[in-house]
Amino acid sequence: MTLQLSTQNGRWHCEPATWSISPGDGQIEVSAEPGSDFWRITHYGFTRDNGHFLGMTVDGDFAAEVVVHGQWRDLYDQAGLMVRVDERHWIKCGIEFVHGVQQVSAVVTNEFSDWAVSPLPQNPPHIALRLVRIKEAVEIFYRLPGTPDGSWTLLRIAYLRPSAECQIGVMCAAPDGGGFPVRFEGFQVTRL
């Protein structure tokens, strides 16, 4: 069974002022607002939970996919997928813009956040993401433009606290900059 985000099943955590979902193809457009972020404690000593996250409730094992197009401008502009158990247990992955370079990024939060990045060649126009949750394990994959469908690169396998239900969806944030537009295409969740 494959599910898509819609205005009926999607719920916002920190709804941005400007966003839309195209009813036909499910394309989601969002303007990330300045000062938005997801982070807990580690290294910086603060907690921020005011990033934009449009998610749907799922249970059991699943795979989620999306293609992300962003107009990255400022330090830490970010967008991608998020799986969220609660405010202390979540994972976000996607692009994060660091010193003029797009980084494929994953932040895993189990009470404390950690961050892993890898620079992407030539700042690609978009990136495809795949997140697979099986019990307490989350696998994060990405695919660059020109890579054959189904050919994914593993970024990380991480632990996320088991739960009967969680939220899965798209996220974006602009912690240090003036905000930026992002477009999500082809978001889908498949139960495994």
Handedness of CA 115, 104, 180, 73 (dihedral sign): positive
Is residue 12 within 8 A of residue 54, CB to CB? The reply is: yes
pLDDT at 10: 94
Q: Which residues of 54-79 are buried (b: 16+ CB within 10 A; e: fewer)?
A: bbbebeeebbbbbbbbbebeeebbbb
Task: Name the token pair of 13.
Answer: 């955590």
Cα–Cα distance measured from residue 156 to residue 139, given in angstroms and rounded to the nearest whole number: 6
Task: Kindly list the domain boundaries of the chain, sorted by start residue.
Answer: 2-20+29-191
pLDDT string in tens for the chain (192-residue length): 788 888 889 999 999 999 999 987 889 999 999 999 999 999 888 899 999 999 999 999 999 999 999 999 999 999 999 999 999 999 999 999 999 999 999 999 999 999 999 999 789 999 999 999 999 999 999 999 999 988 999 999 999 999 999 999 999 999 999 999 999 999 999 999
Domain 2-20+29-191 top-level CATH class: mainly beta
What's the predicted TM-score (pTM) here?
Answer: 0.96
Handedness of CA 141, 95, 105, 191 (dihedral sign): negative
pLDDT at 128: 98
Is residue 131 within 8 A of residue 58, CB to CB? The reply is: no
pLDDT at 121: 79
